[in-house]
Amino acid sequence: MARTETDQTLWLKILVFLLAHVDDILIVRNKNETAGIKTYLSSVFKFKDLGDAHQFLGLVITRDRKNCQLYIDQASYVREILDEFKMENCIPVSIPMDPKETWEERPDDISLSPKAIKVYQRAIGKLMYLMVAIRHDLAFSVIKLA
């Protein structure tokens, strides 16, 4: 098994994908190959096999084995963000931000509380994760707001 050059959290072995993030690991391949990897990992690390993946890092994974289809979405993560920042009743729009919108910089004499700054930073961080993981269409908006 070798670590990929482009993503240090991804290892490959004969088209086996092992994605690792902190203490979460997702193995993607047929069951025979996966069993061997799990056996190896259990000899090196203490871990718990949770069976088929239904969620990984905020991604909801749904499989249709009959039609060999795999669906990934972050709708639940988006709902969590909206709930956390009291935006659950916001009005959806077709594009995240009008690129022609003009923005004025905030005057330096306006001060924000440390708590308000932390809340804003947390919101931007959550949106950045969403942007990087699956919602690339948010890039312009999130970067502009950051």
Cβ-Cβ contacts under 8 Å for 81 (sequence gap 6 or more): 87, 123, 126, 127, 130
Are residues 29 and 16 in contact, defined by beta-carbon separation less than 8 angstroms? yes
Q: Tell me: pLDDT of 121 over 90.
A: yes
CB-based burial of residue 62 (10 Å sphere; 0-12 exposed, 13-18 middle, 19+ buried)?
A: exposed
Q: Identify the helix (H) or strand (E) that includes residue 78.
A: helix 75-84
**Predicted TM-score (pTM) of this structure:** 0.62
What b/e sequence results for 115-140 when a residue is b if at least 16 CB atoms lie within 10 Å of its CB, and e otherwise?
A: eeeeeeeebeebbbbbbeebbeebee
Taking residues 14-38, what's their average pLDDT? 77
Helix (H) or strand (E) segment spanning residue 118: helix 114-133
Are the C-beta atoms of residues 138 and 127 closer than 8 Å to each other? yes
Closest CA to 54 of 26, 15, 18: 26
Q: Report domain extents, the chain.
A: 2-73, 78-145
Q: Average pLDDT in the 83-87 region?
A: 94
pLDDT in tens, 36-61: 778 888 888 888 888 888 888 878 89
pLDDT band at 2 (very low <50, low <70, confident <90, very high): confident
